[in-house]
Amino acid sequence: MTCDIAGSAGRGQQRQQEIRRVLRTALSDALDVADLDARDFAYVDTGDGFQLVAPAALPKAGLLVPLLPELSARIREHNRRAPVDARLRLRAAVHAGEILVDPEGTVSGAPFEVLARLLDSAPLRHATLTGTSGTPVAAILSQHFYEETVGHGYEGLEADAFTAADVRVKEYAARAWLWYPGSPVGPRVDPGRDSGSGERPSEPGPRSAEQLVQASGNGTAFAVHRGNQYIRRNDRG
């Protein structure tokens, strides 16, 4: 899983440090509510975001619900109290696949390239600007992760909570799926209420959250662009 704080540039060092602390706290709290132990993940700080890597044994559906709705709710609550320049919005991409972990614990592999393309995609960027002031968390899932989780009877993962999107970034082209607050999987949002992100989109657009996920038997990767990362290895290495 990869996350990126949208619009983080130009706020000054003190504000950037503050919103990074807010993000770390919100993620920690959301993991607790989702009954996920942060120590089981590898976490990498990417500057204005983070990457999380989970073990293959962790059910993929648990990485979506209630983790994403809880993360969104905590950021929304922070934005309601914070001054404009201390508010934040997140782009998130979720994908699963086989990765490599070297003896020093560094991770690499093709799934991270997919995450980077999903995180930088136009549909996800547009989703974060949906609403009066943007949405707290917009997420995008890869086609593979979507097929492995959505529509299999997991509570909160109804198909109508996701919107299909065609992603084209550089040489990468694929179908992905957006998730947004206000959908069945996300916290209900009053459409007449300001989400408190501090930024106003040029025009309203589709629903505002995206997740990318893809999975294989050897690991699950989550990333948030420019932030922190967790990685977890299973007993099989």
105-to-30, 99, 101, 131 alpha-carbon distances in Å: 25, 12, 6, 40
pLDDT averaged over the chain?
Answer: 77
Instruction: State how far the Cα of 210 lies from the Cα of 140, in Å rounded to an integer.
Output: 3
Q: What percent of the chain lies above the pLDDT cut of 70?
A: 75
Instruction: State how far the Cα of 128 lies from the Cα of 185, in Å rounded to an integer.
Output: 17
The 10s digit of each residue's pLDDT in 150-182 is 988 888 888 888 989 999 998 889 999 999 765
Of 40 and 206, the structure prediction assigns the larger pLDDT to: 40
pLDDT of residue 232: 39
The 10s digit of each residue's pLDDT in 124-147 is 998 888 766 678 999 999 999 999
pLDDT of residue 101: 83
Of 148 and 211, the structure prediction assigns the larger pLDDT to: 148
Q: What is the pTM of this model?
A: 0.74
Domains present along the chain, CATH in parentheses = 2-231 (3.30.70.1230)
Given a contact cutoff of 8 angstroms between Cβ atoms, the answer to whether 2 and 116 are in contact is: yes
